[in-house]
Amino acid sequence: MLVDRFGRPLKNIRISITARCIYRCIYCHNEGVDRHVRDFLEPRDLEVIARVAIDLGIDEFKLTGGEPLLRDDIVEVVSSIARAKPRDLSMTTNGFRLDELAQRLADAGLMRVNISLPSLRRDRYRYVTGVDMLDRVIKGIEKSIDAGLTPITINVVLLRGVNEDELWNFVDFARRYEARLRIIELEPITVPRHVFNALHISINGFEQALREKASRVYRRELHSRPVYLVDGVEVELVKWFGNPRFCMHCTRVRLTPDAILKPCILAKEGVDLKPYLRPEPREEGIRQAFIELNRLRRPYTATA
């Protein structure tokens, strides 16, 4: 296992497999990736990278975008990584195509999904995303459960004046679908300053209410995120803005759609894997790239 000079192991890799989005979302930071990327990693590239990563102890994989379900070869992408036998293989998605793809993704080896859901009200959902597809996303959640992509995680970005009055409704929604709930503070990444200032709201007030109702409180190893068990629902809070503890306990690295390994979404430096993938893959080169990436890791101060 790779452990950096601060004693932090690399366990998770977040793989952005496309920079494209289905709709305009007012807070989407696109994983910090340039939206004009054209030379995407192919499934065969991802399988080689996954094998090397697992050999180094990185065995938890999450596929992200943009929107990963926009890849025409998304089932093949999942299958290629699954062949490397990771301990966990999940996906973060807006859920728009899950109603048609959930079973195929599960058959290919996907284990679970995180679904972004900014509101349970159609008008607010349409305001945040620009499209009227809440009913379709909920159908996708149900199809994912039927396919065994569980436990589902519902991701909710907290937005001032938009959805902060829905948080307990989301707890009830998560209970209905036996899902986990993740409440996320708005992140000032590629979001215009005036938009961030208008929409950002601290998660602290909701956390205090959770603390009063929770039957159990614990922390996830990744980022030391607090989790509150409320009426059988795991409610996880993601607060990295102004929270050095979040970065201190990070065990994640990132891979961009064009093969750049990065130690953090905020990092400007990274290691390019393309020379070790084409024309033929060289696993030892990829291995050394991960080791070099580990040298670049450092705690970030999570402030805007």
Residues flagged as binding site for GTP: 14, 62, 92, 252-254
Binding residue numbers for [4Fe-4S] cluster: 21, 25, 28, 247, 250, 264
Binding site feature residues for S-adenosyl-L-methionine: 27, 66, 116
Give the Cα separation of 228 and 80 in Å (integer). Answer: 35
Asked if residue 124 lies in contact with residue 170, where contact means CB atoms within 8 angstroms, the answer is: no
As a whole number of angstroms, the longest Cα–Cα distance in the chain is 58
Cis omega (within 30 of 0) for bond into 66: yes
| Residues of the binding site | 14, 21, 25, 27-28, 62, 66, 92, 116, 247, 250, 252-254, 264
